[in-house]
Amino acid sequence: MDLWAMLLKRVFSIQPLNRAIAGRWIGHMRDGRFTHVSIVKASPIKGELQIGWLAACRT
């Protein structure tokens, strides 16, 4: 997976998934918010990076 991410970044300029952004989206779900115009601009959630990594490990 790491080699694939490096290839995508170097050859195609595709950035890897930011686990904190995934964690932010999941964190907002507990408040009943499932959609955002821009998740990057949504308010940060405490522990969003850890939430994102935990979700990635569970899949």
Q: 10-36 pLDDT, tens per residue?
A: 999 888 778 999 999 999 999 999 999
- Token pair recorded at residue 48: 């969003």
Residues contacting residue 24 through CB under 8 Å, at least 6 positions apart: 39, 42, 44, 45, 48, 51, 52
Q: Identity (one letter) of the amino acid at 15?
A: Q
Whether 36 contacts 55, CB under 8 Å: no
Residue 2 lies in a domain: no
Residue 51 lies in a domain: yes
First to last CA, the chain: 14
Structural domain containing residue 30: 17-58
CA pair distance 39, 50, nearest whole angstrom: 17
Task: Report the mean per-residue pLDDT for the chain.
Answer: 90
pLDDT of 43 higher than 80: yes
Query: How would residue 51 be classed by pLDDT, with cut points 50, 70 and 90?
Result: very high
Residue 8 lies in a domain: no
**For the chain, how many structural domains are there in total?**
1
Residue 48 lies in a domain: yes
